[in-house]
Structures are given as structure tokens and as C-alpha cells.
Amino acid sequence: MRNKGRVLVVDNNPKVLASVGDFLKANGYSVSTADSPQQALKLTQEEIVHLAIIDIRLTDDYDETDVSGLDLAATLDPAIPKIILTAYEDINLIIRSLSPDRRGTALAVDFVLKRLGPYKLLEAVEKAFRSKVRLNTRMEITWEKGLSWRVLVEELKAYRGGDESEKRKAEEELEDLVVRLLDRATALKMLRVISGRGGCGVVIARPSFGRVMGEDMVIKFGPRKTVMAEFANYKRWVEPFAAVRSTQLRGEPVRTPHLGAIKYSFVGERPGRLVHFNDYYLRDNVPVESIAETLRYLFKECCGLWYKSKRKPGDRERIPLDVWYRKQLPFQEKHVKELRDVVEGLVNGEQPLARHFRRQGPDRLEVTLDGETVSLPDPVHFALVAKSSFPVPSLVAITHGDLNGTNILVDGEGKAWLIDFFKTGWGPVLRDLAEMESVVKFELLQTDDLLARYALEKASLWPRSLKHPIQVEYPSRLAGLGRAATVIQQLRALACDVAETDDPREYYTSFLFYALKEMAGFKPRVGAERHFSVGQYHAFLSAAMVCETLERWGSR
């Protein structure tokens, strides 16, 4: 059995600190003490505290107006339940401590008078642990081979390469999160870790309740702020839209000073059969018609209710598309320099594909491919530096915001399920569709042949209508090209419905920003030289070609 939990006692009287502390220790709790609000705040920002017991007068015992303990209760981490312990029997203070505010939360979960003795306090502590902290002290955790707390910590970007003591602290915090997240299970088996793309980690676990095995579940853990933002997004954008076929949140999030965790259902009735959209797309035995149908289902049914929210941007949303995308992707000022470096690396690097590109002045490039030489705008300059006047989105809607192939799962019937709502919220209505086109082109196309990719771009970036068929002309018949063209055509047909126009300019503009994001890449450097993948070269070329098209059409 684990420790019963950690209680922080805050009192300016050292005698009270010692006696309450000793008493709680004798009853199985770990205890930290603080004799000032500052000390209490500092402590809770660094160490796990499950419950705080706070005296009302922390500054001056003889000052009747001193309510510094209540002020502390209001500022101390809202995730920590508080008990007010005091010698002063004042009904107003009791009411103030226990009345819920506008959000329904009270300063404290209980109010205990010192004169009623230690057992009254213990009763309150035990009750708070049972109903609020819900620390599962008896759950036995076992691990599939190769897994451990350390493996989970290593999943978190924030701790990679970090120092040993921080990692150990994180392990301790993770264990604490898990035993509070699964407050009723008697055992938990950690089955496997799935690496995502954000700063969080995901572990699939199987709880049991006595002899009964529970359903497998997904525990998502990571930096506290990130997890809480995802939780808030889920509550706001997913839960009210029941038709969004998605994972379901189970229970409330839990937090430690640095980390947070939530638990989700493992999506689908037959968990073992769900695959990432990426893997589904790449399966030879899945016909392209099925993929097109999965996408129809995804955008019409899963995202359908979200898109029904579409409307003209309000006053504060009348922001040009480039500003929306810079904010959402995000491309902040500091990234402009990085992106320009990437372009220089792509054009002037040692890699063989660089030979196709040449700089032609500060804002243009010369590209030689397939026996022809064309002059194209430098896409970073065009989109991020020239401060061009991109239009404002004609419609905004609730969008998923991070629709890559690992955030869409596909079940045995080809139906799509959504996960990962960290970026969900209002955005240009075509945001998700344009992102999917970038996924199809830059992630799912499996060829090293830049010429083949160029052929796809030539076929897909000239039509002035989203309804125009996309036919790639390329001598050697590459299966992937035809598949990509058909899928892109489907995405654009869906875009046409959502946007209520076949004018592709807004779609192309959205796509441009996803191409830039892909171009930027997160690829490791090989030696001193940055290594660019063919997908990145493709994204670079594609971005430049979109800019050229937009420039020609005078969309600026």
C-alpha cells in the first residue's frame, strides 16, 4: 500500500505546526509545513501536495482583520483542496470559506475549529482525501516489458536531455497522477506507449476492479498547462457536439505542480482494429474509393456539426488569413528567421536536390525541373516577410485544428474517429481540409522522385475551380500519384461544399501555410549539415508554386 498522501500545514504558530504535523504523521500522512503564505506558495509550486490545512490569521494573531489565510487559499493552486483550521469562531468567515463563487468553487472544502481537537481535524482530512483527492493507495501497477515511469517521462519533450533530478521528480509526479486518475481500480497494467507529435505522452493501460477487467483506456499526460488546455478544448468543442465521432473523456483531469493527466476511452468498439489514417491510406488493399469515402465521412459526419457553426467572421475575427495561420501554426516573428534559414539550406545546401533551385534575388527563386526553368516567388518572403495583403477568411467555423494522419483513426468499417483536440477552436473554415491536402502530398506520397511530385503540383495548382478534375501526367505510372490526385480531388469537392464556392484562392492560401509548416520540418541534422527530406523539398516547391499562382491571380 502506498503512502496515504501529502498534507501541507500552514500556520504562523510553530507549536501548532509541530503538533498538527506530528498528529497527521502518526496517522499515516506525509506532512510539509509552512509558516507564511510565501513559503506555502513556493512549496506547492515545487512539490506534490494533496491537501492544504490553512490557519486564517497567518500574519498577526491579534489582528481581527487579518484573513491572510483566506487570501492564501484563494491564491494557492486551485487543484489543491483546502481545509481552514482556526481558533476563531466567526460565522462570516465560515461562510466566506465555504460558499461557492460564480464558478461553483469555494475557497475551502471544510472549516475546522481548533478547539474541537485533533480527531475532528483528522475526520475532515480523511473526508477530503476520500471525496476530493481520491488517491488510490491500493492500486497495484504492473508494466508490459520495456515500460517504466522513466520511459513515460522520456516521452515528454520538456524532459529530454534534462537533468536526472528533474526526471526523478517527474516520475514521482506521474505516479501520483496515475493513482489519482484511476481512483477506483485495484490494479493497472501499463500496456504500451504511443508517441504523438505534441509535447505530451500517451500510454494505453488496462485497469481491473477486483476480478473484473475494465476497458482499455488512454492516459494522456504532459505539461500541466498543455493538458489543461486540451481538457478545456474537449469540454468546449467536443462534448457538446455528440456527432463528432471521437474519443471520450473520462472523469476529471488531475494535476501536480508541473504535470497534468487526463483519461480517454480507447476509441472504437474493437480497439485492436483501429489504425492511423496514415497507415490506412498506405495499405495496398484499401481502394482509393474507400479512402475518399472515409474522408467524406470524416468531414461530413464527424466534423459536420462543427462546420454547421460556420459564419462570417465577426469584427474581431476580420483578420487576414496569413495572420490567422501565423497565430495558429504558429509562425511567430522568431520563426521567420528560422524559415529563411531553411530556404537557404534547401537552395544552397549540399544535397543533390538543391541543384534544382537557385536564388534569383531577395524574393525570387529559379527552379529547373523536367527540362524547364521557371521563376517563382520565394514563399517565405511572399507569405511572411512581404506583409502582403491576404484576404480575411470569408467564413470561420469550429475546426479540429491539427488534422494530421495520426489524429484521425480509422475503424474496420472505414469510419473515421478523431482524437487530440489541443488546437480545436474557431478558425478559417477550410483549415482542416487544406491541412489534409498537405498531409496527402508531403507525408503520404511515397516517392523520392521530385519530378513526379512536380507533376502532381502542376496538375493540382493551376485549376481556378475546386471542382476541376486533377489529372497527373507523368510517364512512369506511379500508383501513389493517382491515389493522391483522386484524394485531393475529393478534399477539394468537400472544400467546395464547406466554403460554398468553387473559387480556390482561400483554399490555396490555407494550403500555402501548411506547405510552409511542412517545409520547416523537424528533421534531425546530420552532422553539421541539415538534412532535408524529399517531402520538405516538395513542400518548398509546392509553396513557391502556390505563391506564383496567387500572385498571378492577384489575390493580394
Binding residues for ligand ADP, per CB under 6 A? 194, 196-198, 200, 202, 218, 220, 247, 264, 266-267, 276, 406-407, 409, 419-420, 422
> Smallest distance from the beta carbon of 514 to ligand ADP, in angstroms?
16
Stretch that binds Mg ion, among 255-263, 400-408, 500-508, 538-546 (CB under 5 A): 400-408
Q: Whose Cβ is closer to ligand ADP: residue 57's or residue 263's?
A: 263
Per CB under 5 A, the list member of 114, 141, 175, 196 interacting with Mg ion is 196
Q: What whole-number distance in Å separates Cα of residue 82 and Cα of residue 70?
A: 10
Query: For Mg ion, what does the binding mask look like between residues 458 and 497, x meaning CB under 5 A?
Result: ----------------------------------------
Q: Whose Cβ is closer to ligand ADP: residue 129's or residue 417's?
A: 417
Q: Whose Cβ is closer to ligand ADP: residue 424's or residue 460's?
A: 424
Q: What is the dihedral of CA 536, 537, 539, 544, to 10 degrees?
A: 150
Query: For Mg ion, what does the binding mask look like between residues 153 and 192, x meaning CB under 5 A?
Result: ----------------------------------------
Residue 430, C-beta contacts closer than 8 angstroms, at least 6 positions apart: 393, 495, 498, 499, 506, 507, 510
> Smallest distance from the beta carbon of 409 to ligand ADP, in angstroms?
6
* Closest by Cα among 497, 426, 444, 436 to 466: 497
- Angstrom distances, CA of residue 365 to CA of 264, 277, 342, 368: 48, 35, 14, 10
> Smallest distance from the beta carbon of 200 to Mg ion, in angstroms?
8
Q: Whose Cβ is closer to ligand ADP: residue 197's or residue 308's?
A: 197
Residue of closest CB approach to ligand ADP: 196
Torsion sign across C-alpha atoms 206, 210, 213, 214: negative
CA angle at 465 for the pair 464 and 468, rounded to the nearest 5°: 110
Which residue intervals of 10-90 are DSSP H helices? 14-26, 37-46, 68-75
Q: What is the dihedral of CA 50, 53, 57, 62, to 10 degrees?
A: -150
Determine contact, residues 180/135, Cβ cutoff 8 Å.
yes
> Smallest distance from the beta carbon of 197 to Mg ion, in angstroms?
5
Q: What whole-number distance in Å separates Cα of residue 415 and Cα of residue 406?
A: 15
Q: What is the Cα Rg of the chain in Å?
A: 28
Q: What whole-number distance in Å separates Cα of residue 383 and Cα of residue 548?
A: 11
> Smallest distance from the beta carbon of 202 to Mg ion, in angstroms?
8
Please choose which of ligand ADP, Mg ion, none residue 194 contacts, taking the beta carbon within 5 to 8 angstroms, the exact cut-off set by kind.
ligand ADP
- Three cell numbers, residue 279: 497507415
> Smallest distance from the beta carbon of 406 to Mg ion, in angstroms?
5
Q: Whose Cβ is closer to ligand ADP: residue 16's or residue 408's?
A: 408
Counts of helices then strands in the chain (DSSP H, E)? 19, 22
Stretch that binds Mg ion, among 22-30, 407-415, 442-450, 489-497 (CB under 5 A): 407-415
Please choose which of ligand ADP, Mg ion, none residue 189 contacts, taking the beta carbon within 5 to 8 angstroms, the exact cut-off set by kind.
none
End-to-end Cα, the chain, rounded Å: 66
Please choose which of ligand ADP, Mg ion, none residue 174 contacts, taking the beta carbon within 5 to 8 angstroms, the exact cut-off set by kind.
none
Could you say whether residue 351 binds Mg ion (CB under 5 A)?
A: no
Torsion sign across C-alpha atoms 475, 479, 480, 481: positive
Could you say whether residue 432 binds Mg ion (CB under 5 A)?
A: no
Look at residue 294 and give its three-state secondary structure: helix
Q: Whose Cβ is closer to Mg ion: residue 196's or residue 251's?
A: 196
Residue of closest CB approach to Mg ion: 420
Beta strand 396-399 pairing with 372-377: unpaired
Q: Whose Cβ is closer to ligand ADP: residue 47's or residue 216's?
A: 216
Could you say whether residue 407 binds Mg ion (CB under 5 A)?
A: yes
> Smallest distance from the beta carbon of 398 to ligand ADP, in angstroms?
18
* Closest by Cα among 385, 389, 473, 393 to 434: 393
Q: Whose Cβ is closer to ligand ADP: residue 294's or residue 407's?
A: 407
Q: What whole-number distance in Å separates Cα of residue 23 and Cα of residue 445?
A: 66
Q: Whose Cβ is closer to ligand ADP: residue 96's or residue 206's?
A: 206
Q: Whose Cβ is closer to ligand ADP: residue 173's or residue 230's?
A: 230
> Smallest distance from the beta carbon of 134 to ligand ADP, in angstroms?
22
State the number of binding residues for Mg ion (CB under 5 A): 3
> Smallest distance from the beta carbon of 268 to ligand ADP, in angstroms?
7
Please choose which of Mg ion, ligand ADP, none residue 132 contacts, taking the beta carbon within 5 to 8 angstroms, the exact cut-off set by kind.
none
* Closest by Cα among 157, 250, 164, 233 to 201: 157
Q: What whole-number distance in Å separates Cα of residue 339 and Cα of residue 332?
A: 11
Q: What whole-number distance in Å separates Cα of residue 231 and Cα of residue 251?
A: 11
Residue whose entry in the numeric block shows the C-alpha cell 500574519? 59
Please choose which of ligand ADP, Mg ion, none residue 532 contacts, taking the beta carbon within 5 to 8 angstroms, the exact cut-off set by kind.
none
Q: Whose Cβ is closer to ligand ADP: residue 189's or residue 453's?
A: 189
> Smallest distance from the beta carbon of 339 to ligand ADP, in angstroms?
23
Residue 298, C-beta contacts closer than 8 angstroms, at least 6 positions apart: 408, 416, 418
> Smallest distance from the beta carbon of 411 to Mg ion, in angstroms?
18
Q: What whole-number distance in Å separates Cα of residue 439 and Cα of residue 437?
A: 5
Q: Whose Cβ is closer to ligand ADP: residue 126's or residue 215's?
A: 215
> Smallest distance from the beta carbon of 220 to ligand ADP, in angstroms?
6
> Smallest distance from the beta carbon of 518 to Mg ion, in angstroms?
16
- Three cell numbers, residue 305: 456539426
Stretch that binds Mg ion, among 47-55, 58-66, 163-171, 420-428 (CB under 5 A): 420-428
Please choose which of Mg ion, ligand ADP, none residue 202 contacts, taking the beta carbon within 5 to 8 angstroms, the exact cut-off set by kind.
ligand ADP
- Using CB under 5 A, list all residues that contact Mg ion: 196, 407, 420
